[in-house]
Amino acid sequence: MMQSFPDIPQLEDILFNVDAALGATESHGALCGMLCAQGATEASQWMLCVLGEHEETSNALQQAGKKLMQIHQISVEQMNDTEADFELMLPDDDEPLEMRIEALGAWCQGFVYGLAIGGIKEDTELPEDSKELITDILEISRAGYVADNEAELATDEGSNEEDEVAFMEVSEYVRMGVLLIYEELQPLQSSQTVH
């Protein structure tokens, strides 16, 4: 049985208290992007991106560090899991859809940021599938902004269910896409087959 991710709202508070550079879902996206770009990624390198520079250690910073170490460990295990049990760290299904769409957008922003930190630039030669998926994920990273504008328009009950299904499909597309990118860019790290 794999560990589960820390509670997102609680982690958001902890990160906010230490003036972190990235929020909870965005920081997980960044880690996954770094793992895809570099393979093995030191927790300290990623944590520096999330937390930024700090002069001295505080209790809040140690608490944040502990939670981030947990996320790092789970993510590395999941991305190298042959069962493809990899999960995006997103709010639970019982949270409002707008919030989940915004979180998915933030996760994707983090992922693209993580790829860049890991050394993947616009002109980096990539396998065609990975290049296409990264472009799609970049588009999805803008989802949070679109959701805000469309939320006022959607009052119809029927569209809510369709929106739920669409959200599930998009998040599953991102999840499988990340695994494929990881497999293509880190073939020695990853032993899973996702097709």
56-83, pLDDT tens digit by residue? Answer: 788 889 999 999 999 999 999 999 887 7
Tell me the whole-structure pTM to 2 decimals.
Answer: 0.87
In a domain? residue 192: no
Residue 41: domain span: 8-185
Spatial separation of the C-alpha atoms in residues 85 and 75, rounded to whole Å: 10
> Residue 195 domain-assigned?
no
Q: What is the H or E stretch that residue 53 is in? A: none
194 in any annotated domain: no
pLDDT at 41 > cutoff 90 = no
Tokens standing for 190? Answer: 């990853």
In-domain check, residue 69: yes
Structure-derived torsion over alpha carbons of residues 125, 184, 115, 132, reported in degrees to the nearest 10: 70
| Residue 170, domain CATH | 1.20.120.740
At 107 the pLDDT is: 97
Compute how many other C-beta atoms are within 10 angstroms of the C-beta atom of residue 148: 13
- Give the separation between CA 120 and CA 162, rounded to whole angstroms: 35
Quick one: 128 exposed, middle or buried, by C-beta within 10 A (0-12, 13-18, 19+)?
A: exposed
Does residue 149 fall inside a structural domain? yes
- Helix (H) / strand (E) element for 101: namely helix 97-117
Q: Higher pLDDT residue, 151 or 40?
A: 40
| Of 78, 40, 85, 84, the residue nearest 192 (C-alpha) | 84
**43 in a structural domain:** yes
Does residue 133 form part of some domain?
yes
Count of domains forming the chain = 1
The token duo for 60 is 């809040």
Q: What percent of the chain has pLDDT over 70?
A: 86
Query: Which pLDDT band, with edges at 50, 70 and 90, does 191 fall under?
Result: very low
Higher pLDDT, 158 or 137: 137
